[in-house]
Structure 1
Amino acid sequence: MTTRDQGAFGGRAGGCLVIGGSGAIGRSVAVRLAELGGDVTVTYAGNSAAAEETALAVKEVGRDGVAVHLDLGDAFRVREVVGEAVARHGGLHTVVLAASPTNFQGWTSTIPPEQYLEQLRVDSGGTYTVISAALPSLRESRGSVVVVSTVANRRFVLRDVLSSGPKAANEAVVRAVAAEEGRYGVRANAVGVGILDEGMTQVLIDHGDIRPESLEVARGRIPLGTFGKARDIAATVGFLVSDEARYVTGQWIDVDGGYSL
């Protein structure tokens, strides 16, 4: 039987876990994984209704979908949720970290160290805890991890350290997992998100952290001349977790219309 005959996930047992299924990117990723043939557990921190809509969208594709609450800062609950996903799906072959803990833009000189440390604890510490808890199952399935990151780690965006700092740490973890877990067949990669016209960008606009006129200036710096969509991120994640990318690990792909150039 060929890999193509076995489906996008190479016939691996188990399902998918998407951390952050209530946002635009998480929803698009979950639906894409379902389209590829995966059953999906999605998590949410606060917006249960949006996460339930994501689970329903997965079911509409014909796959099993469920939404569960998860505070990434609660290490015990992280391990519990990973265990529940393993039990529900009979294993895990795909883990996608698509959560974006709420952060607001501010000058580095004005952000208290305590606020930055808390962002590190939840965003980077939570990512590490999820991957750590999932590794035994990923080794068994020879599965993969994808961390959704930011292009701000290649082209720094002013007042964005609460996002770019923890996500730089996450990218280091991706490289560590790729280098150390490859002997077990586990792959790890990252996707850098550019400027989208939905999701967190809209949240920051609504909060007043981003002015519409500033977005237009940013658009002028994008070679493709347009903002991205969550589905653009999902398409790249779908490739990276599939067997089409079976020889790709330790990489990050910026999906940004060329903004990071």
Structure 2
Amino acid sequence: MTRWKDKVALVTGGRSGIGAAIAACLAEKGVRVFTAQRGKDAVNEAIEADFLRPQEPEHVIGEVIRRAGRLDMLVNNAGLMREGTALETSVEDWTDTLQLNLTAPFMLIKHALPHLIEAKGGIVNIGSIEGLGSNPRHPAYCASKGGIHALTRAIAVDHGADDVRCNAIAPGWIDTELNTAFVESLGDPAAFRAEIGSLHPVGRTGKPEEIGALARWLLSDEAAFVTGQVWTVDGGRMSKLSLP
């Protein structure tokens, strides 16, 4: 049985979308949840942060420790996607994407590890099926998500003996507020939903709380022998071959 009482979690980008769902899944078990992102969070204890600034990860971890005195769980969820082929992608877009999606999670882990080792805690990194395959015009995003999957394995290998586990979740199409707004902006949202639903063997796209539920399990005592894994949550999309 997982003992959630008195546990403290940090979820980056936890104000909306997948991050908010993960925060809610943890909070309903009694975990004290901090979120870190630009702007305020009306639900959880928030730390305003811009992870494009290199010094931000150390500041955010320090603020959690200052307020709560401990850290048991780290969820690296904040992310950035800028579209463009390699020819169209500027060095600034490449650098910003890698900074937010890969370097900031590494630095958050680095500064969190002393506290996670003390707590025998856990890390969940939010990757993507685009760390396994690629949609068009996403070279920077795909590189960053492939990197976060590899970083997950490296942290698990180096710190398993410290009783710190590290896993990643690779979501497919999830009905976040951002994705829903995109679909609604199209000329025929219903047709698009039917088309994208057909890509998935389960016949639909995913829900943020389905990612939240897996993240919570990965951070629980029930997953004590689970580390270094990338969990694909995509309704079977990556398993489905296109028709000849």
Look up the match of 1:28: 21
User: C-alpha displacement at 1:200, in angstroms?
Assistant: 3.7
Give the SS at the match of 1:41: strand
User: C-alpha displacement at 1:206, in angstroms?
Assistant: 6.9
User: C-alpha displacement at 1:178, in angstroms?
Assistant: 0.1
Structure 2 residue ranges without an equivalent (≥5): 240-244
Q: Distance in 1 between matches of 2:197 and 2:85?
A: 22
Q: Distance in 1 between matches of 2:135 and 2:148?
A: 18
CA deviation profile, 1:130-154 (whole Å, cap 9, x unmatched) = 1111000001111010001111222
Residue of structure 1 aligned with 2:222, choices 200, 224, 244? 244
Q: Distance in 1 between matches of 2:21 and 2:134?
A: 26
Look up the match of 2:242: none
Flag the 1:206–1:114 CA change in 2: closer, same or farther, 3 A. Answer: farther
Look up the match of 1:76: 55
CA deviation profile, 1:139-181 (whole Å, cap 9, x unmatched) = 1111010001111222322223332221111111111100000
Look up the match of 2:37: 44
Provide the identity percentage. Answer: 28
Q: Distance in 1 between matches of 2:110 and 2:228?
A: 17
Q: Distance in 1 between matches of 2:95 and 2:185?
A: 22
Q: Distance in 1 between matches of 2:145 and 2:138?
A: 11
Residue of structure 1 aligned with 2:97, choices 108, 119, 124? 119
Flag the 1:86–1:16 CA change in 2: closer, same or farther, 3 A. Answer: same
User: C-alpha displacement at 1:122, in angstroms?
Assistant: 2.3
User: C-alpha displacement at 1:124, in angstroms?
Assistant: 0.9
Is 2:196 the partner of 1:218?
A: yes
Flag the 1:108–1:225 CA change in 2: closer, same or farther, 3 A. Answer: farther
Give the SS at the match of 1:164: helix
Aligned partners of 1:195 and 1:227 also within 8 Å: yes
Q: Distance in 2 between matches of 1:207 and 1:100?
A: 22
Structure 1 residue ranges without an equivalent (≥5): 56-65
TM-score of the superposed pair, with normalisation by structure 2: 0.89
- Structural RMSD (CA): 2.2
Q: Give the letter for the 1:29 counterpart.
A: I
Is 2:134 the partner of 1:148?
A: no
Residue of structure 1 aligned with 2:77, choices 95, 98, 105? 98
TM-score of the superposed pair, with normalisation by structure 1: 0.83
How many residues align? The count is 238
